[in-house]
């Protein structure tokens, strides 16, 4: 995620679902603007270091996800973090409006939980345990929906 104080409280939601689905993860601050060399190094070595998916959360002029995507062929999921002045519309467009040929799969503003689900879904293509965890979680979610309001 980026270096803003707003980022981790939101990205914790991603950690939450990854824990539930038992997907191994690492959380780091990799600021596109303030630590560009760290970002470059992280993205370039991510595949070699065993990452299967990268979830990148940033807000405002949110270049992190797009720049990471430009440096790796791993799937990159962008989480636009809500900003104060424009309520995250700036973040959403920065993350989502990628040029043809470099892709960021973008979730909703503050959609870190769904980013975790999507990451798990990608991992489940080559990890049977994660697949069954995800299927079970989806079943439980369906069962938890009431037929009528109370």
Selected binder of ligand RP5 within 17, 18, 21, 31 (CB under 6 A): 31
* DSSP letter for each residue of 40-98: HHHHHHTTTTT-S-EEEEEESS--HHHHHHHH-SS-EEEEEEP-TTTTTHHHHHHHH-P
Q: Which of 105, 85, 71, 75 is nearest to 6 (CA)?
A: 85
Selected binder of ligand RP5 within 17, 18, 55, 59 (CB under 6 A): 59
Selected binder of ligand RP5 within 21, 67, 68, 81 (CB under 6 A): 81
Q: Does 4 bind ligand RP5 (CB under 6 A)?
A: yes
Stretch that binds ligand RP5, among 4-12, 17-25, 97-105, 122-130 (CB under 6 A): 4-12
Count residues binding ligand RP5 (CB under 6 A).
15
Element (H, E) at 39: helix 36-45
Q: 106: which DSSP letter?
A: E
3-state secondary structure (DSSP) of residue 105: strand
Q: Does 58 bind ligand RP5 (CB under 6 A)?
A: yes
Under 8 Å between Cβ of 65 and 91? no
Stretch that binds ligand RP5, among 12-20, 25-33, 129-137, 140-148 (CB under 6 A): 25-33
Q: Which residues bind ligand RP5 (CB under 6 A)?
A: 2-4, 6-7, 31-34, 58-60, 62, 64, 81
């Amino acid at each position: 995620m980026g270096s803003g104080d707003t980022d981790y409280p939101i990205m914790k939601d991603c950690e939450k679902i990854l824990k539930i689905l038992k997907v191994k993860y690492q959380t780091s601050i990799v600021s596109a603007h303030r630590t560009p060399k760290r970002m470059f190094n992280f993205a370039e070595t991510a595949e070699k270091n065993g990452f299967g998916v990268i979830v990148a959360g940033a807000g405002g002029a949110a270049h992190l996800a797009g720049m990471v995507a430009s440096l790796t062929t791993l799937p990159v999921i962008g989480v636009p973090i809500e900003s104060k002045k424009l309520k995250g519309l700036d973040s959403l467009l920065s993350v989502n409006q990628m040029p043809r040929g470099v892709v960021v799969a973008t979730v909703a503003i503050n959609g870190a939980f769904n980013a975790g689900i999507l990451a798990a879904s990608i991992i489940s293509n080559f990890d049977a345990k994660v697949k069954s965890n995800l299927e079970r979680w989806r079943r439980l979610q369906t069962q938890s929906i009431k037929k009528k309001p109370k």
